[in-house]
Amino acid sequence: GENVEQHPSTLSVQEGDSAVIKCTYSDSASNYFPWYKQELGKRPQLIIDIRSNVGEKKDQRIAVTLNKTAKHFSLHITETQPEDSAVYFCAAPTRRSGYALNFGKGTSLLVTP
Amino acid sequence: DVKVTQSSRYLVKRTGEKVFLECVQDMDHENMFWYRQDPGLGLRLIYFSYDVKMKEKGDIPEGYSVSREKKERFSLILESASTNQTSMYLCASSQIVGYGYTFGSGTRLTVV
C-alpha cells in the first residue's frame, strides 16, 4: 500500500556531529515532503519542506534532499546541539488519503553534550 | 500566526462513554484533520475534511466519527469509548490540500 517508511527509529549523536534521517515513499503522485519536529510534550512543528521540482533545500543547519527516482528524501542536521533533541517526522501526501499527509513513524534524536 | 486550538489538554473518560474532542482554527482554513499519535506508530490519520459538510475517512476511522458544521470547527467523536482509544489526539489545519499543517497542542485521552 501507499505509505511512508522512516529510519532510524532512534538516533544518538554527540553535540557537533551531523544527523541524517531517511524516509522512503511509495506513491509516485506525492509532490511535497515536509519534516516536523516534536519536542517532548509539545505539538509537531514544521521545520523544513521540499517540493518535488527541487532536489535540495537548506535552512541554516538543516537541509532536506529529495531523490524522486528512488522515492526517498532525507533530513540532514549539521553541528547538532542539545536543543535539537526531539522526535522528527517525515510525511508525504498520498492519493489513498485524498492527499492528506501520511507520516512516518518518527525518529527520536538525542544529542548528547 | 495560525492558531489551532483543542479544547482539552487532558481528558479521562469511562469505557462506553460518548466522547467529543473539539478543534477550532482561526485562519479560515478549508482543510482540517484528526490524527492519533501512539509511541512507535507515529501519526495516523483518522478523518479529514476539505470543506464544511465534507468528511472523509482516513486510515483508522473505526470507532470514530466527525462533525464539521462550521468551517472553523472540526469535532472528533468517539461513539463508545474503549480502552484501545487511549491515545494522544492531534488536530491540524492547512490552507492548501497536501501542504504543511499547523497542529493543535493535542488532547491526551485516557479511557478507563
pLDDT of residue B109: 98
pLDDT at B59 over 90: yes
pLDDT at A2 over 70: no
Determine contact, residues B50/B95, Cβ cutoff 8 Å: no
* More confident of the two residues B6 and A96: B6
Determine contact, residues B74/B11, Cβ cutoff 8 Å: no
Distance of alpha carbon B106 from alpha carbon B66, whole angstroms? 16
Q: Which of residues 39-98 of B touch A (CB under 8 A)?
A: 40-45, 48, 50, 56, 58-59, 90, 97-98
pLDDT of residue A98: 87
pLDDT tens, A8-46? 999 999 999 999 999 999 998 889 999 999 999 999 999
For the record, the C-alpha cell of B25 comes out as 482554527
Determine contact, residues B5/B24, Cβ cutoff 8 Å: yes
Distance of alpha carbon A105 from alpha carbon B39, whole angstroms? 8
pLDDT of residue A52: 84
CA distances from A34 to A51, B35, B55, B104 (A): 9, 16, 24, 17
Q: A20: which residues sit within 8 A by CB, 6+ positions away?
A: A74, A75, A76, A77
Mutate to test the interface with B, among A43, A57, A64, A90 (most CBs of B within 10 A): A43
pLDDT tens, A70-85? 999 999 999 999 999 9
Determine the average pLDDT of the residues in B44-61.
Answer: 93
